[in-house]
Every structure is written in structure tokens, then in C-alpha cells.
Amino acid sequence: MLEFIRSTYFQGLLAGFSVGVVIFNEAGQVYVINEVASRILEIGEDSAKGRLWNELFSGIDEPARLSGLVQEAVSNRRRAGPITARIFRKDGTTLHLSIHASTLVYYDRIWGIFVELSDVTHIFELHEREKRTLEEKRLIENERVESLHQFSMAVAHQILNPTTIIGGMANLLLKRLRSPNNVNSIDEEECIKRILDGVKRLETIVKAVNNYMSIKRGDLMETDLCNMIEVIRSRFEEEEVQEGSAVVWRIECAGVVVRVDGRLFQKALSEVITNAVEACREKGGGMVTIVVRDAPDKVEIMVSDTGPGIPESVIPYVFDPFFTTNPKSVGMGLSTALRIVREHGGIIQIGNEAGGGAVVTIGLPRDGDLARAG
């Protein structure tokens, strides 16, 4: 039998296997190891011969399982397995193996134990990628469901308040008409006024939705971004004089020209700056900082404030239509800004400054020739 193992035919047969093959004798010493197994176990064929099998598999993560597999094959005299195991290599990588064991019997006597090693690392990595993809899909789906929930609550809140007022006041007027001599008289003028306020609120909501749905980028024109910011700032400064609140401005913008739909982009920028100003007003005053950075691949606009900041639990929903923490707001401002920025191929992000207050960053790409240095 040993002569057969050493024969050119048998050696050629081993070399043709796509799996690793190791043959031990009953004492656990290596008879034969092919090139694939040698590569997996990181040992030369000559160095492996004569070694004990547990030395050869010293890098395996669960040697007891391999020992059990071999014992099962010897006891039952049939192919056992597979088991899966990891083997840790010298370069720090890990291979995932599928291992079978069987006995080689000659004249009813076991003269060798045949171990097959299949490298299934690529299959394992594929499964891991699929698991990660499924987990990512699950998280995205959860976020979508939560976002829809928040959206539904926001819409219900926006519409329920004015309709409740309208219904309540209308019922009071109806009672008044049915009982004109009722001593518990009501202020008819106040009822009508509040009904009209409710109707006006609904009209504002409908108008906001129509404006949002009609957003479409027009022709791109070269626009001085610094002038656009100055126009917006001037408008707010006039309001500050009227309201008496103290908002300080810090603007860093050095002549950057962007190719945008000027009217539309000014609307987006105005919505973002409005939020910053209102956040400062909540604290009785503060500073709005606008920094324009002219990077090689994009133009970046950062708008920050010294207001109270945004609760972390709210940040995922701030760009959702109708989402607002301000009872007087419709909640379409940041949604509108997001859509306009995307119409220009840009991105918009929001977060909190380390020292307090919120920061919104708008990025416009240069690769689409949407912006250039002035």
C-alpha cells in the first residue's frame, strides 16, 4: 500500500484534487499532504510528513471537534462530517474550512485516515455580506416606518388643530342661532374670527404643499453667493429692528460664484437661515454664523447658531414634511431646502455644534459644473 501511495499515479491524483488532502497513519503521523492542504495549513509538504496531526492543525479554533470527527470516522469506518472550523493564519487572516474524515481500509485493517479540507471562506463571506445587507434593509425599513409614523402624526397635528377650532366655533354659532334668547350669549365676532384663523391656517398648509410639489430647478445662472447671503441677512436685520431682538451675524464669504437657479436656491438658503435666526430668538438673542468654503470638489455653506440645538431623537426627522417643534410653523422649511439642494445635485446635513447650537451644511458639487470660484 505504501508503494501505491508513493507512486506517480497516486501523487498525480492528489495534485488534481481541488480540496486539501491529508492522510495520517493509525499513530497520527502524516503520510501524505497535497499542495492545496499545504497551502491552507501553511506548511511545506516535506516538513509535514511524519508530524502528528494535532501539530499540523495547531491553528484550528476547535481542535476537540476535529478529534471527534476523526474518532467518528475510525469507529464507524465511514465518511464523517462535515464540520466547519476556522484556522488562524500567520498573516492574521482567518480561513473558514469544511472538513470531512474517512478511513482507508486494506484487508479489513485501517491503515490510514483520510482528511479533506475545503476552503469555504468565500461562501462564509458571501453569507456574512448577505446578513449585513438584510440587517441594513431591516434598519432602513424600521427608519422608514418610524418616519412615516412621524409624518402621519405631523400631518394629523397640522390639520387637526384648525379643524377642531373651526368645528368648535361653528357649533357655538349654531347653538346661538337655534337659541337666540339664550342668556349664555357668545361673542359671535370672536367665533367668526377664530374660524377664519383656522381656515387661514389650512390655506397656509395647502399652499406650503403646493409650493413644495412645484419645486423644479430652472436654468442655471452664475450667482454671487456672498451677495445672496447679504440680501437674506439684510431682510432679517430689518425684522430685528422691528422686533427688538439681538441677533449678531458673522459671515465668512470670499467672492464665490455658483451656477444655480438663483431664485430657487435663495429660497433654500433662506429657509436654513430662518431656522438659525429663530433658534437664537428662542434664547433672547445669539449669533448666526455663515461660512462659505471653496473646496476643490465642492462649494460648502455652513450655517450655525448659538440657539438651544436639536434633540438627538429629533434629528432623523427634521427633513420630513410637516415635522416641526414650533407650534406656529407648518414644518415645510427644511423639507423645501432639502428638495431644492437635491435639485442642484447637492447634499444637506444637520447636526449640533460641540459648544451648543445647531449647524446645517450644504454642499454643491463641482464635477457637474454647478459651482466655480469667482
pLDDT by residue (tens digit) across 178-235? 666 655 556 777 778 878 887 877 777 777 777 777 778 888 889 999 999 999 999 8
Could you list the residue range(s) of the whole structural domain that residue 148 is in?
141-213
Q: How far apart are CA 357 and CA 366, in angstroms?
A: 29
Question: Would you say residue 352 has pLDDT above 90?
Answer: yes
Residue 105 lies in a domain: yes
Residues 152 and 190 in one domain: yes
Residue 161 lies in a domain: yes
Spell out the residues 6+ positions from residue 165 whose beta carbon is closer than 8 angstroms to its own: 194, 195, 197, 198
Residues 228 and 354 in one domain: yes
Residues 239 and 99 in one domain: no
Query: Burial of 189 by CB count in 10 Å (0-12 exposed, 13-18 middle, 19+ buried)?
Result: exposed
pLDDT by residue (tens digit) across 46-104? 788 778 877 778 788 888 888 888 888 888 777 887 888 888 888 888 888 888 888 87
Q: Specify the DSSP element, H or E, that contains 335.
A: helix 333-343
Closest CA to 95 of 135, 21, 37: 37
Residues 336 and 257 in one domain: yes
pLDDT by residue (tens digit) across 7-30? 665 666 677 778 888 888 877 788
Q: How far apart are CA 370 and CA 300, in angstroms?
A: 12
Residues 234 and 290 in one domain: yes
Residues 265 and 362 in one domain: yes
Residue 324 lies in a domain: yes
